[in-house]
Amino acid sequence: STSKSVIVSASTRDGHDVDYLFGQVSIDSAFVDWSGNCGNLSAAVGPFAISSGLIDPARVPRDGVATVRIWQANIGKTIVAHVPMTDGAVQETGDFELDGVTFLAAEVQLEFLDPADDAEGEGGAMFPTGNVIDQLEIPGLGTLDATLINAGIPTIFVNARDLGYTGTELQDAVNGDPRALTMFETLRAHGAVRMGLIANVEDAATRQHTPKVAFVAPPADYTASSGKPVHAAEIDLLVRAMSMDKLHHAMMGTAAVAIGTAAAVPGTLVNLAAGGAARSAVRFGHPSGTLRVGAQAQLVDGQWQVTKALMSRSARVLMEGWVRVPGSVVEVE
């Protein structure tokens, strides 16, 4: 989940400052998956755009918060980043703590506007099948309840107990089990077919980045990978998510958007794990700790719509340099 590429340019689209294209780069083949976005790297786009001079200086305050309007080209959606500024430069240090990130940093608030898919589908776009819960027939597992949602990133949610898990698992419990990894990939492939993302399960190998698979459970006490105790009273539910054939060490940003969106819609597995009540925000437990995410949902003409999802991340420059690419391998239009 760390071999990623972000391509940013000044935007010619009305109401936007920059265009952002994300690529998930395969580490074992010459392949880049362009099928989805990365929520964590979405937080880096605004700071990068400001520091690179892609934003009109008149729109960037010397101190305070700069608003960067981002067109996410992979999924055709708008993200609004609120970037802290100090003395005319992007502020990177601060007191914002994000479980799974080693250092304190400045908080970058993100708004994912209208995060559900706009494509026409059977019964609606946010839920590709038109249902908040579907039954999936999975070889080796039988029939599983699943919430199939396309918000933030296409995601397949299942109950932890149906997989033999508690929802408190850390990485080694899954990543050290080859049979579990095979099971999750089988589940992902069949869910992708049901969501209409691929035609058959064999095509899943060419779409590694999406959909994601996550399993949920009601709140429970556990110890995070950092050694920090997480108490059931502090969270609304437990979520563990798979990314690129591994259990993620914390939570992908786009999956957090899917979690917040699904939690806001009554009757989804995420909503039920969180107690089933109507809610505009949830705090969930993940392997590294906890994360809060919000979403605004409403029922319009019998279809659920989410106007925005909200979360905070951090970003800082790690290194700068040049990548030298031979002209013979570059396609010029």
The tens place of each residue's pLDDT in the chain, 333 residues long, gives 678 999 999 999 999 999 999 999 988 888 899 989 999 999 999 999 999 999 999 999 999 999 999 999 999 999 999 999 999 999 999 999 999 998 999 999 999 999 987 665 433 479 999 999 999 999 999 999 999 999 999 999 999 999 999 999 999 999 999 999 999 999 999 999 999 999 999 999 989 889 999 999 999 999 999 999 999 999 999 999 999 999 999 999 999 999 999 999 999 999 999 999 888 999 999 999 999 999 998 888 888 888 999 999 999 999 999 989 898 888 765
Strands (E), 172-279: 212-217, 222-223, 229-230, 237-243, 246-247
Residue ranges of domains in the chain = 4-116+315-329, 134-297
What is the pTM (predicted TM-score) of this model? Answer: 0.87
Q: What are phi and psi of 125, to 5 degrees?
A: -90, -40
> Active-site residue 244, yes or no?
no
DSSP reduced 3-state for 57: helix
> Active-site residue 126, yes or no?
no
Exactly one of 38, 85, 126, 183 is catalytic; which is it?
38
Domain 4-116+315-329, CATH: 3.10.310.10
pLDDT at residue number 304: 84
Domain 134-297, CATH: 3.10.310.10
Exactly one of 85, 252, 311, 319 is catalytic; which is it?
252
Separation CA 84–CA 67 (nearest Å): 9
